Amino acid sequence: MKHPKNLDVTKVINNVAILLQEIPSSLEVVKDDDKKEDRFRHLASYMVKKALRHDALIVSEDYTGVAILFEMKNFKEGFLQTIKDDLKLAFKVTGLKKGWSGLQTQKVVRKARPQLENYLYCWFWGILKDSRGITSKKLAYTMKDEFYEIARKKKLPLFAETRTRKISIAYQRYGFQVVKKWEHPSGDTMYFLRYDAPRNK
């Protein structure tokens, strides 16, 4: 996996922008107008820069796999940074109406997350289409092992959520357990998942 010091950040942002266009929650909040492609790129830029600020970015060697894995006790940002980010997102990504709707959904999602002092949270994980499935690279397994090694070393549980049933099943195949389900206003089911790394004997 690549480390932030030697990353081509522009390439990471471009790939995240492509991946976001497959995610239901992103498709719902990004304003659908003639600037849609730019809006996805602004959202990707916001996410990648936030991940870099918190040392949370994981990128495969070929840039086709990107994940953002926060350690939640360190995931704190000042009031001014939060306001600045929210205003930029409303202006460049969501528009006011979709931005407000997204905030209401996020309130519910945040309450469903674990009430623990610290844990790892997989905010984003995507692999470009040509690198998915059973290939010689086995990129999904490689990235999954990276997450699990971080969880093992830090002795922290790992949480994720998805509204895509197929992805939920993949997470469970990797050792996650569904700890909660929520019927999203869209009609989808949101799956909240947890992984506990084996303890050293």
Per-residue pLDDT at 183:
86
* Residue 173 located in a structural domain: yes
* Residue 54 located in a structural domain: yes
Question: Model's pTM, two decimal places?
Answer: 0.83
Per-residue pLDDT at 79:
45
Distance (Å, whole) CA 183 – CA 8: 38
* Residue 73 located in a structural domain: yes
* Residue 30 located in a structural domain: yes
Residue 22 belongs to a domain with what CATH number? 3.40.630.30
Q: How far lies 31's CA from each of 96, 129, 135, 169, in Å? A: 9, 24, 35, 30
- By the 8 A CB rule, do 100 and 28 touch? no
Domain span at residue 130 reads 4-195
Helix (H, G, I), strand (E, B) or coil at 28: helix
Per-residue pLDDT at 194:
95
HSE-CB of 99 using CA atoms within 13 angstroms: 14
Distance (Å, whole) CA 49 – CA 66: 13
Which position has the token pair 């905030």?
103
* Residue 201 located in a structural domain: no
Q: Which two tokens stand for residue 62?
A: 């070929």
Strand segments, DSSP code E, in 36-188 are: 57-59, 65-71, 120-127, 158-162, 177-183
* Residue 133 located in a structural domain: yes
Q: Which two tokens stand for residue 41?
A: 């790129």
* Residue 160 located in a structural domain: yes
pLDDT digits (tens), the chain, 201 positions: 766 668 999 999 999 999 999 988 887 778 777 888 898 998 899 899 989 988 999 999 999 999 999 998 877 655 455 555 665 666 567 655 555 555 666 676 777 777 888 999 999 999 998 888 755 568 888 999 999 999 999 999 999 999 889 999 989 998 999 999 988 877 889 899 999 988 654
Question: Residue type for 75, please?
Answer: F
Question: Residue type for 27, please?
Answer: L
How many structural domains compose the chain? 1
Residue 58's contacts (CB-CB under 8 Å, 6 or more residues apart) are: 1, 66, 67, 68, 69, 143, 146, 147
* Residue 200 located in a structural domain: no
